[in-house]
Amino acid sequence: AQSVAQPEDQVNVAEGNPLTVKCTYSVSGNPYLFWYVQYPNRGLQFLLKYITGDNLVKGSYGFEAEFNKSQTSFHLKKPSALVSDSALYFCAVRDSGSARQLTFGSGTQLTVLP
Amino acid sequence: NAGVTQTPKFQVLKTGQSMTLQCAQDMNHNSMYWYRQDPGMGLRLIYYSASEGTTDKGEVPNGYNVSRLNKREFSLRLESAAPSQTSVYFCASSEAVADTDTQYFGPGTRLTVL
């Protein structure tokens, strides 16, 4: 079975500081990993995904994520946070071998303080 | 290009009433999905349609039915609404049900069952 965990319900960071939103996963095959962002009263917007290749994936709005196979992690990062980055972030995983469904984490609320 | 659209945006039902949530996409995608989002639980898949004419159950299908009306439209029906179905419902689409495909989400329908 596939699963994904976002260990922090809430992350606060000061504007201009680097931010990290954590995600760990469990799959039996190869993982395909996704990050989405949700602004209040809106649908989910795709940020980036890891399929294969370089462990550092670059996405929209200056976000990037680092795939670490040994630690089964896919943390979302941004070098300098903006107040407008405040939103709910979801990590999702699909197992290459066994499942067609995308499994989402419970979400992390990011607040960037001015 | 509107992407994925959903109607209605908000709905209040009484226990036992029925309703249909509508979803349409204009990206010529083959696959479509219905999710529900509950606080602290991420998104859970209700049903999906890999292609026109096919539908399959997801993680939480009980109490719901779906219809893939054509390639563009995928509706979700609650035959006899229950308070446990109070949630935010999201429709999504992707080019195909492939492991690597990105899903694109609509703005959501906020449903309250009294």
Mean per-residue pLDDT, A50-68: 93
| Mean pLDDT (chain B, rounded) | 92
pLDDT for B12: 97
Q: Do A43 and B44 touch (CB under 8 A)?
A: no
> Which residues lie below 8 Å from residue A66, measured CB to CB, with a gap of 6+?
A55, A56, A57, A73, A74, A75, A77
Pair type for strands A3-5 and B104-105: unpaired
- Residue B18 and residue B77 in contact, taking contact as beta carbons nearer than 8 Å: yes
When scoring B9, B99, B103 by the number of chain A Cβ atoms within 10 A, the one with the most, hence best to mutate, is B99
pLDDT for A97: 65
Residue A114, preceding peptide bond in cis (omega within 30° of 0): no
B100 contacts on A by Cβ (under 8 Å): 32, 49, 51
> Nearest CB to A46: which of B42, B104, B107?
B104
Structure tokens at B37: 């989002």
Q: Do A44 and B42 touch (CB under 8 A)?
A: no
Task: Give how far B101 is from chain A: nearest CA, Å.
Answer: 9
pLDDT tens, residue by residue, B21-62: 999 999 999 999 999 999 888 899 999 998 888 999 998 999
> Nearest CB to A44: which of B45, B48, B105?
B105
Q: Is the pLDDT of residue B97 over 80?
A: no
- Residue A23 and residue A73 in contact, taking contact as beta carbons nearer than 8 Å: yes
Q: Provide the number of CB pairs (under 8 Å) joining chain A to chain B.
A: 49
**Cβ atoms < 10 Å from Cβ of A79:** 11
Among A48-52, A85-89, B20-24, B92-96, the least confident range: B92-96
Backbone angles phi, psi at B52, to 5 degrees: -55, 130
